[in-house]
Amino acid sequence: MILWTRLTGLSRPVEVHWQMAEDDRFARVVRQGAVRAQPAWAHSVHVKVEGLRPATDYFYRFRSGGELSPAGRTRTAPGPASTQPVRFAAANCQRFEHGWYTAYRHLADERPDVVFHLGDYIYEYGRPAHGVRRVDPADETTTLAGYRARYARYKSDPDLQAAHAAAPWVPTWDDHEVMDNYQGRGDGSDRFLRRRAAAYQAYYEHMPLRVRPRDGGLQMYRRRTYGAIADFMVLDVRQYRGAGTMLGAEQESWLLARMAVTPVRWRVLVQPLFFTRRFVPGPPPNLRKDSWDGRPEQRARLLAAVPQNLVVLSGDVHNAWAGDIVTGTGQTVGAEFVGSAISSNPPVTDGPGVLAANPHLRYFDAHRGYLSGTASATDFRVAFRGVDFVDRKGAPVRTLAEFVTEGRGIRRVDV
Ligand SMILES: [Fe+2]
């Protein structure tokens, strides 16, 4: 487990003490230690705690000088043979100036076993003339100082803090953590690569990651396995992207190799972008090049590697969708669930028109919200949780729709 915090307003290295306990009053402390928070890493702290018991809740906190942090709750994954269900949540797209993070408060209340973040944790844009709330800094973020300040602003939100304190997070990024719609090394200029390296460093400094950035890159793709139930394959669809490839050759080989041999019930792709074909009627372009529709050959290779039990979690489009995953030869091999957004505004979308043009897509909804799911030995369930407004605080949450799959297509269940 990686325990994360960051201290602000300091210039020198500072000692930070940490504790991990079995109870939230810290009566039964099982590990503790001290680390030095360094200015070179924005006084971020990443403590790696090993040898914990599987499928167990733990609580952690930090102390530095006279300050004691609030306690966070985390939970380890079960051991390899476990058939315990895993309860997860997935969130994405939280543009600060577009609204309040009420959805995160409700997500925190669910205390899932794990939270996945599917990208657009921050947006790099400069402050707009009108916003629900004021984002800082005012300018578009392009430098390390700028990205750090932007994360600090986002992370000042108490609902986001509550969601982090409620469960372990496994995040991946999309484009706005760096720049709108960037791909790979961008235009290859020093200027862009410096910006990307700054953005990647700031991302590391603000996330519970175990690998540090190196040579301007950051290893993000990884696997999180929950017993014999789910292999969550966390993908990086930005860093290695190029002509004809969303993932790059190395990441694709890694993914295909694991998919071919995994003994677990569910292969789950955790990644930002709409995965199945989405034909948008009207004037061209009818397929969005920035999504997997822009890399159909690589998508076809992934689908050829999985006979069934594939689940894809995605985001990016700021509306909720659900559908079947169908191969080129007409086999239904899985299900895709697209979360809308925590707060980011949706684009104008003809949901019914798109559903009519894509028979494999079965659900569209335009609320802000997140995904709440359970993977078990028998089935995989996903509830779309939504709030009616984000332009002011206090929206209640409700389940907009719930779907279940046994490994091929999805079925809607009454809620
Ligand atoms: Fe977004």
* Per-residue confidence band for 299, with pLDDT thresholds at 50, 70 and 90: very high
pLDDT per residue over 91-150, tens digit each?
999 999 999 999 999 999 999 999 999 999 999 999 999 999 999 999 999 999 999 999
Calculate mean pLDDT across residues 55-80. Answer: 97
Task: Specify the pTM.
Answer: 0.98
Measure the CA–CA gap between 199 and 129, rounded to whole angstroms: 24
Q: How far is the CA of 318 from the centre of ligand 1 (A)?
A: 6
Give Cβ neighbours of residue 232 (< 8 Å, ≥ 6 apart): 88, 114, 116, 170, 223, 224, 225, 226, 268, 270
Q: How far is the CA of 335 from the centre of ligand 1 (A)?
A: 21
Q: What local confidence, expressed as pLDDT, does residue 307 receive?
A: 78
Q: How far is the CA of 409 from the centre of ligand 1 (A)?
A: 27
pLDDT per residue over 85-95, tens digit each?
999 999 999 99
pLDDT per residue over 260-281, tens digit each?
889 999 999 999 999 999 999 9
Please determine, for residue 10, whether its predicted confidence score (pLDDT) is greater than 80.
Answer: yes
Q: How far is the CA of 174 from the centre of ligand 1 (A)?
A: 8
Q: Residue 218 — φ and ψ, nearest 5°?
A: -145, 120
Please determine, for residue 76, whether its predicted confidence score (pLDDT) is greater than 90.
Answer: yes
Calculate mean pLDDT across residues 368-395. Answer: 98
Least confident of 151-160, 177-186, 231-240, 298-307: 298-307
Helix pair angle (296-304, 249-261), 10° resolution:
20
Calculate mean pLDDT across residues 276-294. Answer: 96
Q: How far is the CA of 307 from the centre of ligand 1 (A)?
A: 31
Q: Tell me, what amino acid is at 70?
A: P
* Per-residue confidence band for 415, with pLDDT thresholds at 50, 70 and 90: confident
Calculate mean pLDDT across residues 3-32. Answer: 97
pLDDT per residue over 317-365, tens digit each?
999 999 999 998 899 999 999 999 999 999 999 999 999 999 999 999 9
Q: How far is the CA of 184 from the centre of ligand 1 (A)?
A: 18
* Per-residue confidence band for 241, with pLDDT thresholds at 50, 70 and 90: very high
Q: How far is the CA of 10 from the centre of ligand 1 (A)?
A: 32
Q: How far is the CA of 150 from the centre of ligand 1 (A)?
A: 16
Q: How far is the CA of 369 from the centre of ligand 1 (A)?
A: 13
Calculate mean pLDDT across residues 203-209. Answer: 98
